[in-house]
Amino acid sequence: MNSASLNLVALTLFSLVMMSLLGPMLHLSPTVPAIATFAMLSLMAIDTFGLQGRFGAIVIDGFARLSPEHRARVIRHEAGHFLVAHLSGIPVTGYTLTAWEAFRQGQSGQGGVSFDTQELEQELKRGILSNQLIDRYCTVWMAGTAAETLFYGNAEGGADDRQKFRTLWFQLKRTNAEGALKEKGAIFQAKSLIQAQMQAFEALVIAMEQRASVEACCRAIEEQQASQAL
């Protein structure tokens, strides 16, 4: 069960407990909590087995997005991925900033930035994955965490990114100690790239807030790079 589903379970249990406690005070029929329990459990079962936790992700994300800081964190996290991918020559194919947007585009979880991973997949199939390519993708995966840490001092997101990195590391049959060092190095490298292109990063954040197309976001980055070069 993913984190969104677990959070939905916790929210459901809290709601049921409060309903049970407040029911007598509000003169609710005892059948109301029972019906609500059955309905919520049925909904969670459908969400877990039929929707792969998407409904739970939408509900939890909806509550979280009531916080302006959370919204700002999400955008900067995803802008970190986008910027570092663009600078690393990895094509960005799309992005979403909410679980609802991800659901509408047929993505799982709470969405994020999508990349063209064809080059990585081809090298994995051939079994000749170069260190340079590993470094590029690891840096991109850790760029969201790097961006959050850079602006807020810590990272609340990035669990899915770390899982992608660790899945690749497991496929490469490398040690956990090597993986921990590579992860830290990737975060440091991503931070350095973002800091060096801070004006481009801020322009990208504005473009993503406006839900600009991928092409428009790339232009925003390149225009800032060109102005810095003058």
The number of beta carbons lying within 10 Å of the beta carbon of residue 1 is 11
CA distance 185 to 190: 9
Among 24-33, 65-74, 79-88, 178-187, the range scoring the smallest mean pLDDT is 24-33
Q: What is the pLDDT of residues 142-187, one digit of tens each?
A: 999 999 999 999 998 888 899 989 988 888 888 889 999 999 999 9
Residue 11: which pLDDT band, with cuts at 50, 70 and 90?
A: low
Mean pLDDT along residues 28-34? 62
CA distance 18 to 112: 34
CA distance 77 to 148: 6
pTM: 0.73
Q: What's the sign of the alpha-carbon dihedral 7, 9, 15, 21?
A: negative
Q: Phi-psi region for residue 141, left (φ > 0), alpha (ψ -120 to 50) or beta?
A: alpha
The pair of three-digit structure tokens given for residue 126, joined into one six-digit string:
């051939």
Whether pLDDT at 45 is above 70: no
User: Residues with Cβ < 8 Å from 128, sequence gap 6 or more?
Assistant: none
DSSP string over 33-45: HHHHHHHHHHHHH
So where are the chain's domains?
3-64, 68-229
CA distance 6 to 211: 30
Q: What is the pLDDT of residues 187-205, one digit of tens each?
A: 999 999 999 999 999 999 9
Average pLDDT, the chain: 81
CA distance 205 to 199: 10
Quick check: 133 and 119 in contact, CB under 8 A?
Answer: yes
**Domain covering 68-229, topology:** Methane Monooxygenase Hydroxylase; Chain G, domain 1 (1.20.58)
Distances (CA, A) of 194 to 57, 166, 168: 29, 23, 24
